[in-house]
Structure formats: C-alpha cells, structure tokens
C-alpha cells in the first residue's frame, strides 16, 4: 500500500490544525512506519482549535486512497482539554456530577471548598477541586479548555474576556448580555465557542419554542398571515404550597429586582411596555401531565428580543408574544404588601429597602433542609384564521425535587452540561450561540433530560377540541 510522503503529511497537518500532543490519543491503528515516525515528531504546528488526530489520519487515508480503519479517540480521555466549572452552588451540582460520572476531565473552582466537596461527594472520576482566588484560573487555562461560568452575573463578562484571551471556550446558563455578544467576532476568529442561555429559562424554553415552530412550519395550516398567539412561562415554587405561595433557594434580592424591572411584550397586536410585574398579572390555565391547573403569570424582560430568534419575522401576523414568569394561584394577593412597599419607596431609599426586605423574606420563607421544590414551564402556540383556531399545541414540564436535589438545579445544570459536552466534543460552530435550534439535537438533549426525571408533556389542543365536539 502506498502512503503520501512525510512532507505531504506535514502540510496536511498544518492545513487541518493539529498539534503534536494530540497524537498520544491514537490507538489500535495499524499504521506504516512513516506515519508513526511523523506522529512522534515534536515540531508539528500548534493551534488553539485542535482537531482530533483521527481526522488527520482520515485525511491521509483519503489522499492515499487507502482503506485502513480508524478508531475515533474518546473525548473523555483527551488529556489536553479540561472543563473548568466555576461555582458549586445549588444550580450547579447535577450538571457537575453528570460530567464527572461520564468521565470528562473536570476541575471544579469554588471559594468554599466544603461546598465543592459536598457537590462531588462519593464520586470517582477524572476531577479535581481548586480554590478560587485571584489569578488562579488565568494561570490554569490552556488553549482548547472549556469554562462553565456559574458565578454571579457581574463576573461573567470578565470571565468571557479571559477565555478569549486564553483561547478557551465559554459557557453560561444566563442571558447573553450585549457586552458578551460583542465578543462574537473574536470567538469566531479563534475558533472558540461562546454559549449562553442553555439552562432552564433561558434554555429549555428556547428549545421547546423551536420544536413548536418547526412543527407548525411543517403543518398544512402554516401561513405567516394567520393570527399567531405565543406564550412562554416558567416558574419555581414549593412542591407543597405555603400561604406566601413562594419560597427562596437563595437571596431574594434577585426576585425583588426582577419585580421592579420593566418588561415589553405584544398584547392584542400592539407593543406594550410594562413598568412593574404587578401591573400585568393574569390568570393562566395550564394543561399539565397531572391535569389542568390554574396559575398566575406576568411578562418579564423584553419578549420582543426573541421573536426573530424563534422565527416570528416582520411579515408575521402576531396577536400576542409573551415570555414571562409563572406563579402559584393566589400569589398576587400574598405578595400585595411587597408590591406596595417597592412601589411607594423613594428611589434614593430603594437599595436599603431591598436589602432589609430581602433579609426578612429569607428568614421567613427560605426552603427548609430537604424540602422539595417544583418547577412548571409551558410553551404554547395558538394559530387562528378568521377568528377560528386552526392549530394549537403546547409543551410543558411539571417537575419536582427529590431527596437527591432540587428540580430547579436539575433543569438548569443538566442542559448546561449537555452544552458543555457538545463544546468539548467539537460539535458546535465557533462564535456566540444560545440553546440549540436544530430539532434533532433538541430531541436528543430532551431525551437525556427526561432520563434524569424531567419529562416533556405534549398537548395538541386542536385534537382535544375535536374530541370534545365529537362527544
């Protein structure tokens, strides 16, 4: 069998960007001496985005028209890349444990080492725990590493910039801020991924929206001129409702700030600005797997930012487009005094008021040790023509915490771990991206999420209406 000369191999190596150290993963391949000698050379060109060695050898095989079989090296055994998971808080633990159990090389960074040790208790695998301190992460990062940032939002931009500087990929479950989005061109130029919005909300809600839109687009009823009504809501609350209709897993400050933040949505075909959450609370009924249940909902953030992402372009007739928060029925009454306090406090006193209120709410309404939580999400698209419903489907989740951990933690960190896995394996394109749009990848991720106990409930409301009419 004839193989290309060594100098041709070197040119191939430079073209597909492989570095010498990757060759240590080659195994069980019957190669001629010339190729093995090349693999042992120390002057192979380095790069930040390095391709698995099997790709080089596959290219060699193509050039030589040779039929030898290649075994793809296992990404879990790639000794040249490390997943750096920053933060071992409540919302991180299931994702951390899944990656370690899958034998990915993981380094867990935490200021509270006892918390990190608790998160990894009883696990065996290729992982280490490191103390978070100034400069430590920067010194440890290597080109091709994957960084998962579960630190406070204020730290995200600095971590993302550090990743670009060090040639590392960056992931976060949080919303992509304009400042992080501005790093897209840098990431693409270096072959790096910046992945945001791959948790629960945002994250799974995006995926369910994309599946609904894909289903509708392939239906006989599809027409942008139809009247479209889209709603997406998510909320977390205690599994056994208390009088306050809510409990806190961490500091209440974030929830309080969200209440006083403005929102924007499309209601009755018009763009509407909402000054406070309590100005737009509505009753919302959901057809869950366990039966029909009534909640309360309100818009949050700027829903319009996601219309184009979901496929609602300017030529669509959109009657309603809302992304928002779900709360237990009766929540508005239980929180009435809090709404009044926030609204009546002068601007210069807001910071002190929120701090004091947060401390009181944490003392009175924090989850007890071992208390179960509940997460409900519903994404719904209703389509009408001349006032009559012609297509109406929804996808929902109704998940509960267990003795092993909270539902919120699973639903935030398992999707994040799937995105981390995809980046580690080189399955995602360079640049900034959010939760997957491709239906096949979404279904694969949802299947893994389901294996952890969180199932998607699908309802075709149009079919239900036909059944009722037939009765």
pLDDT tens, residue by residue, 296-334: 999 999 999 999 999 999 999 999 999 999 999 999 999
Q: How far apart are CA 40 and CA 24, in angstroms?
A: 9
pLDDT reading at 29 higher than 90:
no
The pLDDT of residue 466 is 58
With 0-12 / 13-18 / 19 or more C-beta atoms within 10 angstroms meaning exposed / middle / buried, residue 175 is middle
Whole-model pTM: value is 0.82
What residues contact residue 413 under an 8 Å CB cut-off, 6+ apart?
Answer: 91, 92, 93, 94, 95, 96, 98, 150, 173, 199
Query: Is residue 275 pLDDT above 60, yes or no?
Result: yes
d(CA 326, CA 300): 10
Q: Which of 26-30, 144-148, 173-177, 233-237 has the lowest mean pLDDT?
A: 26-30
In this structure, the number of other CB atoms found within 10 A of the CB of residue 172 comes to 26
Residue 198: pLDDT above 90? yes
| Chain mean pLDDT for the chain | 85
Q: What is the pLDDT of residue 78?
A: 52
Residue 404's pLDDT is what? 85
Write down the pLDDT at residue 206.
Answer: 98
Kindly tell me if the per-residue pLDDT of 148 is higher than 60: yes
């Amino acid at each position: 069998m004839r193989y290309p000369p060594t100098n041709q191999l070197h040119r191939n190596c430079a073209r597909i960007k492989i570095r010498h150290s990757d060759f240590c993963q080659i195994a069980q391949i019957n190669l001629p001496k010339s190729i093995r000698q090349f693999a042992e050379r120390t002057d192979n060109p380095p790069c930040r985005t390095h391709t698995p060695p099997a790709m080089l050898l596959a290219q060699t095989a193509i050039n030589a028209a040779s039929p030898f079989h290649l075994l793809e090296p296992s990404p879990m055994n790639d000794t040249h890349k490390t997943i750096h998971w920053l933060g071992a808080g409540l919302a991180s633990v299931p994702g951390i444990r899944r990656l370690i159990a899958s034998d990915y090389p993981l380094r867990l960074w935490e200021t509270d080492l006892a918390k990190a040790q608790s998160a990894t208790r009883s696990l065996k695998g290729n992982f280490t725990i490191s103390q978070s301190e100034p400069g430590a992460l920067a010194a440890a990062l290597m080109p091709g590493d994957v960084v998962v940032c579960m630190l406070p939002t204020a730290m995200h931009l600095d971590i993302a910039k550090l990743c670009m500087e060090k040639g590392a990929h960056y992931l976060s479950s949080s919303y992509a801020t304009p400042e992080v989005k501005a790093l897209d061109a840098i990431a693409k130029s270096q072959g790096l991924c910046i992945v945001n919005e791959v948790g629960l909300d945002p994250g799974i809600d995006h995926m369910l929206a994309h599946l609904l839109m894909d289903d509708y687009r392939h239906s006989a009823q599809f027409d942008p001129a139809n009247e479209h009504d889209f709603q997406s809501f998510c909320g977390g609350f205690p599994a056994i409702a208390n009088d306050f209709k809510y409990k806190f897993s961490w500091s209440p400050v974030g929830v309080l700030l969200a209440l006083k933040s403005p929102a924007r949505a499309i209601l009755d075909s018009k763009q509407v600005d909402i000054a406070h959450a309590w100005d737009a609370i509505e009753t919302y009924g959901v057809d869950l797997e366990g039966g029909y249940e009534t909640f309360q909902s309100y818009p949050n953030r700027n829903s319009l930012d996601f219309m184009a992402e979901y496929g609602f372009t300017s030529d669509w007739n959109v009657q309603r487009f809302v992304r928002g928060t779900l709360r237990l029925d009766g929540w508005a009454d239980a929180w009435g005094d809090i709404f009044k306090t926030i609204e009546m406090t002068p601007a210069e006193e807001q910071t002190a008021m929120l701090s004091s209120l947060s401390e009181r709410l944490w003392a009175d309404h924090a989850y007890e040790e071992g208390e179960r939580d509940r997460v409900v999400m519903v994404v719904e698209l209703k389509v009408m023509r001349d006032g009559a419903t012609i297509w109406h489907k929804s996808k929902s989740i109704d998940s509960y915490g267990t003795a092993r951990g909270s539902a919120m933690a699973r639903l935030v960190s398992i999707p994040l771990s799937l995105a981390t896995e995809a980046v580690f394996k080189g399955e995602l394109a360079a640049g900034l991206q959010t939760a997957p749009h491709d239906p096949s990848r979404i279904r694969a991720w949802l299947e893994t999420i389901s294996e952890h106990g969180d199932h998607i409930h699908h309802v075709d409301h149009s079919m239900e209406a036909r059944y009722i009419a037939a009765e």
